[in-house]
Chains A and B, each alone.
Chain A
């Protein structure tokens, strides 16, 4: 990676074992400061555990690393002062009001001018006239906004967001991401775990993990090249039938449908080209090579992971 800024998080060989299962297995990761870093992977792949280890909530069984220049093993208290951590599940007090929750968090970080900061946060949230409502009575989207506001009160330098938009409607999600981008622009480093593709695309960097192992990481734009995925765009009259046939082709790693076209991808370019030519000549669709994008890359990664569940090969060979 060229001209990467100094990393906000840098971990090497991070490992966490529960029972006899390595939930996180020798993970290396560098999160450049001031960027939005997307942390992707299927459910149960170890994203939450990794995030918790990075901010000192869990002690790694092996490996080392630093977060904001502090050692993740020994200086977790310093890390906590400068990190905002938004948990996957709403974890503020449902039996406290909105204001009481913010006030509590402000006290936890010993903020100067607490009242003013809480007032400001309430204004930003647009919840001034509902400040005395119990947090438990808020809708999912509002809870998420409140949680974000609560972990921004102490102006953290690093924001860890663990699947922040799960169960939130699309409009609220878009607003949320607008805010995330503004924060990144103001210099906050953001590590966000997600399994929404449209969110992954918003990230500057991406790491993809499955079964505790990192499969790939890098700048978002470079990910498709790193995988070495080649894609053809296919227009045809009967997409469904064609899709079915293509799936049986050994040289085709995946077929993804995007509206009225198919994206057919594979790692073996000459074989794919030959296939395209053959189908084109048979009059089955109009084939056109296109650069692979993140969408294809992720679908490819996810398929590969599912197929390689038993063996733990780091990269799916796409069958």
Chain B
């Protein structure tokens, strides 16, 4: 019943139309590259050079060591020294400083006496992700400063090292030892950009047939839905291939993102992901009447891919209901596949669960799409 000839006819037509539509074609290839560069460089959840103000209520060798430590650390952009608490509070409020580091009075003396004085960090926590790394780095800086300035001097007893160094927080950064955001963001971007172009373009390509009336010609011919669906989808799978290749090359050469895992597992995972997205685009096209609606709904699916997938925020940190929602988002699983394979050197066994999840999502979407795409104009 299913005819390869008709499938090929749709395929050929789709390629011709794609070739003639220069703008869309350029967008499909060009935009991902632009986005990769833009976001790869711009998004940084571990920002450096945050403006910092030092409020000094004491002076001495340790304090001076701390000041020079802060000055050399690239987490901080040192904006000045203040002694008036009111002024430093104002600096924090008006954004002159993101941090105010307060050295209390009698700090030197208390350190020497092993009283473990408290250094207060007043942080502008309006953007919490911006501060985490810097706060953690500060304790390291203070520790080093205290250590260095007390070498050869009357040092507190080594056995009391724990209590006297309450700032000492050790941060382990597994798989991304340099804490580079790009290493995390770039593979995630692949998931987001693929989903963006694939869903949107498929949805629009099909809705356009309905809007222009050509769908009526298609439906009036003996062509089967599956022939239309595959014929329309496959050209865009190839577009997805091109995007991915460009992406991987750029990730490697420009951002230095490693590819440690099994390329074959990656290949399987990303094909599955592309098909899921195209099917989703197809489904959207069956429930919308014009290109504007198709675009609106496509964008609606893109936000969860960014916000609930673990791309922007750690998946485990979301509330349980949000995690449940996120599990239904294809990007969530592909994101894990890509990160596992590229960064952690995973192979097929480690991604089986994610592949299964993607498979289930695909079956659901394809079934819905086939049910919705009827061979009538109803």
Contact = CB atoms under 8 A, between A and B. Distances in A.
A109 B222 contact: yes
B307 interface: no
Given A52-B377, A95-B17, A96-B13, A108 B222 contact: yes
Contacts of A83: 220
Contacts of A90: 213
Contact of A56 (B212, B214, B223, B376): B376
Given A58-B376, A58-B378, A107-B5, A96 B222 contact: no
A55 B376 CA distance: 10
Contacts of B213: 87, 89-91
Interface string A71-106: 000001100110101010111111110001000110
B377 A109 contact: no
Nearest to A106: B9
Contacts of A55: 220
Contacts of B221: 80, 105, 108-109
B16 to A, nearest CB: 6
Contact of B219 (A57, A94, A100): A57
A91 B219 CA distance: 11
Interface in B169-218: 212-214, 216-218
Contacts of B216: 57, 85, 87, 91
Nearest to A114: B5
Contacts of B6: 107-108, 110
A301 interface: no
A161 interface: no
Contacts of B212: 91, 94
A188 interface: no
Interface string B1-16: 0010110110011001
A59 B20 contact: no
Contacts of A108: 6, 9, 218, 221-223
B21 interface: yes
Kindly name the residue among A76, A93, A108, A110 whose own CB sees the greatest number of chain B CB atoms within 10 A.
A108
Contact of A80 (B13, B21, B222): B222
A105 B378 CA distance: 23
B220 A100 contact: no
Interface string B95-111: 00000000000000000
Interface in B222-247: 222-223
A110 B8 CA distance: 11
Nearest to A57: B377
B290 interface: no
A166 to B, nearest CB: 14
Contacts, number: 74
A15 to B, nearest CB: 14
Given A56-B376, A57-B376, A76-B375, A93 B222 contact: no
Interface residues of A, number: 29
Interface string A38-75: 00000000000000100111110000000000000000
Contacts of B12: 104, 107
A93 B220 contact: no
A142 to B, nearest CB: 17
Contact of B220 (A57, A59, A89, A110): A57
A92 B217 contact: yes
Contacts of A87: 213, 216-217, 220
A26 to B, nearest CB: 19
A93 B12 CA distance: 13
Given A55-B220, A90-B213, A100 B376 contact: no
A55 B377 CA distance: 11
Nearest to B19: A95
Given A57-B220, A104-B13, A110-B6, A91 B214 contact: yes
Contacts of B3: 110
B377 A58 contact: yes
Contacts of A95: 16-17, 20-21
A84 to B, nearest CB: 9
A106 to B, nearest CB: 8
B17 A107 contact: no
A89 B377 CA distance: 15
A95 B16 CA distance: 8
Given A57-B377, A81-B222, A108-B221, A92 B13 contact: no
A77 B222 contact: yes
A58 B9 CA distance: 24
B219 A104 contact: no
A83 B220 CA distance: 8
Interface in B324-378: 375-378
Nearest to A81: B222
A77 B218 CA distance: 12
B66 to A, nearest CB: 68
Interface string B290-322: 000000000000000000000000000000000
Contacts of B13: 93, 96, 100, 104
Nearest to A76: B375
B13 to A, nearest CB: 5
Contact of A93 (B17, B219, B377): B17
A270 B31 CA distance: 81
Contacts of B5: 107, 110
Nearest to A55: B220
Nearest to A79: B222
A80 B16 contact: no
Contacts of B20: 95
Interface of A: 52, 55-59, 76-77, 80-81, 83, 85, 87, 89-96, 100, 104-105, 107-110, 150
Given A85-B216, A91-B216, A96-B16, 9 more contacts: A58-B377, A87-B216, A91-B213, A91-B217, A100-B13, A104-B12, A105-B217, A105-B221, A107-B6
22 contacts: A57-B216, A57-B376, A57-B377, A58-B376, A59-B378, A80-B221, A85-B216, A85-B220, A91-B212, A91-B213, A91-B217, A95-B20, A95-B21, A96-B13, A96-B16, A100-B13, A100-B16, A105-B221, A107-B12, A108-B9, A109-B221, A150-B217
